[in-house]
Amino acid sequence: MVEKTHLVVGIDPGTTTGVALVGLEGKVLRVSSSRTWSLKDLIHMVIEQGYPLIVATDVSPVPAFVDKVCHLFEAVLYEPPHSLSVEEKWHLSRSADLPAEFRFKNSHERDALAAAVKALESYSDKFRWIDKKLDERGLSNISEMIKTMVVSGSSLSDSLEQVLSERKKREKTRGKHAKEPERKGGRKRTRSRRIETSMINNMEREILELKGKLKERELKIRSLGMELEKTQSNGFWDIVRSKEVDSRNKMIVELKRSLSRVAADRDRLRKKVGSSPGSGVSSIAEDIEIIDVLKDLTKKTVRDLLNRPGDTSRVIMARDCSGTGSTIAGVLRDARIEGVLYDGGIPAPAKEGLESCGIAPVPLGKIDILDLGRVAVAIKKPLDRALDRERKRMAREVRRGATYSFERYVEDYRKRLT
């Protein structure tokens, strides 16, 4: 099994996403692109190859998707001083350590590799200086470890002191080489375990919610059964049993299926994390926003959501808004909904109604989410930024409308004077 290494990850987001993975020594480990990658797919692809240290882009300012991936990896973000030109990107990609027969499938792969090479070049002087200092002290074997600590913000002296201090402690307690491979591997796997553990925590939260709903359904069925036993009419029993009990049994089956799928994903990730040495993993679950998902945006669907036990999310997602009317805005305003994520189009009257109530309508294409069926998951900061952008746009349109109305009023007044 090939030992994993720390990575510089170049990303070119868009309809087709390009990704390049480069080691700290400059070796290109992988260049790929796809039109169907989700955020989850990209994360798994990267951490299977190594441990992300730097996430890079070829444009300035940094795209929201790249910023989100960097945050999830807890990596260092590299943004070039200016957006790279086509000539610069060709020069950078050709200077990379690639097989002679390699050919880019598209410009997205070239741009991703150029971003990674540019980021690595920005650290080249510092890396050479670190190698020189370590060679002088006969410590070149810890070069990669020291570089990762320096890139993350530590000084060379502090990094050396920490690494050598840990080495001395291990030599005293367990012998000079007893735990060295395990400690080294554990340090490298920290970011990978952190990401996967966060996904496990999200799935466990959904499992708890599904279990609660399942228990509630079972209690309702028992209550209905007790009421039916008191009824003397066999005809009444047959009607209620066929319509109500069967309906709720179907709901239970659907909930159990959802529970099984989420539990399977959770167990798979838990096994993967559990197989790695060490278990001290910090969670970034507090950065996750849970979003209620509706099949459409009608009064009935929204009221069904509001009648569910537990708190309603501040942002909801609607799969189909084609039948949405303007009056839905009042219902959402009373429920203190701050924003609506919608797929496809939304009728103009409905959109105007939402905006007049201060509710931000945000197209799904403007933010990345992980759709889990009845709920979806998004990163809080990019979600808040998307909502703020829509609110600012709404405010500009209100000011523009007020200015236009005032100008019309002045023009009419002048006409009456003349």
* Residue 279 pLDDT grade (very low, low, confident, very high; cuts 50, 70, 90): very low
At 2-20, the pLDDT tens digits run 567 899 999 999 899 999 9
The reported pLDDT for the residue numbered 241 is 59
Tell me the mean pLDDT in the region 182-202.
57
At 81-109, the pLDDT tens digits run 999 999 999 999 988 888 777 889 999 99
The reported pLDDT for the residue numbered 379 is 86
* Among candidate residues 100, 122, 144, the one where a domain is terminated: 122
Residues 6+ apart with CB under 8 A from 218: 252
178 and 199 share one domain? no
Kindly state the tokens that stand for 403: 């200015």
Number of C-beta neighbours around residue 329 at 10 A = 24
Each as own residue / partner, the long-range contacts of residues 299-307 (CB below 8 Å, 24 or more positions apart, any chain) are: 299/327, 299/328, 299/331, 302/328, 302/331, 302/332, 302/335, 303/331, 306/335
344 and 386 share one domain? yes
315 and 380 share one domain? yes
Whether 214 shows a pLDDT value over 50: the answer reads yes
226 and 117 share one domain? no
**What is the distance between the alpha carbons of residues 341 and 354, in angstroms, rounded to a whole number?**
12
Q: Considering only CA atoms, which of 254, 203, 256 is closest in space to residue 372?
A: 203
* Among candidate residues 249, 283, 317, the one where a domain is terminated: 283
According to DSSP, residue 250 is labeled H
Q: What's the domain count of the chain?
A: 4
Residues 6+ apart with CB under 8 A from 280: none
Q: Is residue 258 part of a domain?
A: yes
Whether 35 shows a pLDDT value over 70: the answer reads yes
Q: Is residue 267 part of a domain?
A: yes
Whether 399 shows a pLDDT value over 90: the answer reads no
Q: Is residue 413 part of a domain?
A: no
User: Considering Cα of 78, then 84, then 86, then 89, what sign does the dihedral take?
Assistant: negative
Strands 375-379 and 288-296, bridge-based pairing: antiparallel
Q: Is residue 266 part of a domain?
A: yes
* Residue 262 pLDDT grade (very low, low, confident, very high; cuts 50, 70, 90): low
Q: Is residue 412 part of a domain?
A: no
Q: Is residue 407 part of a domain?
A: no
For the purposes of burial, counting CB atoms within 10 Å of the CB of 167, is it exposed (0-12), middle (13-18) or buried (19 or more)?
Answer: middle
Whether 326 shows a pLDDT value over 60: the answer reads yes
The reported pLDDT for the residue numbered 278 is 46
* Residue 114 pLDDT grade (very low, low, confident, very high; cuts 50, 70, 90): very high
Whether 195 shows a pLDDT value over 70: the answer reads no
The reported pLDDT for the residue numbered 22 is 94
Q: Is residue 53 part of a domain?
A: yes
63, 51 contact by CB (below 8 A)? no
Question: Which residues are 10's β-sheet partners?
Answer: 20, 56
204 and 279 share one domain? yes
29, 22 contact by CB (below 8 A)? yes
**What is the distance between the alpha carbons of residues 80 and 94, in angstroms, rounded to a whole number?**
18
For the purposes of burial, counting CB atoms within 10 Å of the CB of 224, is it exposed (0-12), middle (13-18) or buried (19 or more)?
Answer: middle
298 and 361 share one domain? yes
Tell me the mean pLDDT in the region 75-82.
93
The beta strands (E) that lie in 116-216 are given as: none
Whether 222 shows a pLDDT value over 90: the answer reads no
Q: Of the ranges 190-194, 242-246, 283-287, which is most confident?
A: 242-246
291 and 394 share one domain? yes
Residue 187: how many CA atoms within 13 Å on its side-chain side?
16
244 and 312 share one domain? no
Whether 231 shows a pLDDT value over 70: the answer reads no
- Average pLDDT of the chain to the nearest whole number: 79
Q: Sheet holding 339-342: strands in order across?
A: 360-363, 339-342, 315-320, 288-296, 375-379, 370-371
DSSP track, 314-354: SEEEEEE-TT--TTHHHHHHHTT--EEEESS---HHHHHHH
**What is the distance between the alpha carbons of residues 145 and 12, in angstroms, rounded to a whole number?**
28
Each as own residue / partner, the long-range contacts of residues 385-390 (CB below 8 Å, 24 or more positions apart, any chain) are: 385/64, 386/339, 386/362, 387/315, 387/338, 387/339, 387/360, 387/362, 390/339, 390/360, 390/361, 390/362
Q: Is residue 411 part of a domain?
A: no
The reported pLDDT for the residue numbered 1 is 43
118 and 9 share one domain? yes
Whether 415 shows a pLDDT value over 80: the answer reads no
78 and 165 share one domain? no
CATH code at position 290: 3.40.50
CATH code at position 31: 3.30.420.140
The CA radius of gyration of the chain, in Å to the nearest whole number, is 28
* Among candidate residues 103, 122, 141, the one where a domain is terminated: 122
155 and 231 share one domain? no
User: Which domain range does residue 176 map to?
Assistant: 125-188
* Residue 388 pLDDT grade (very low, low, confident, very high; cuts 50, 70, 90): confident
Residue 217: how many CA atoms within 13 Å on its side-chain side?
19
279 and 219 share one domain? yes
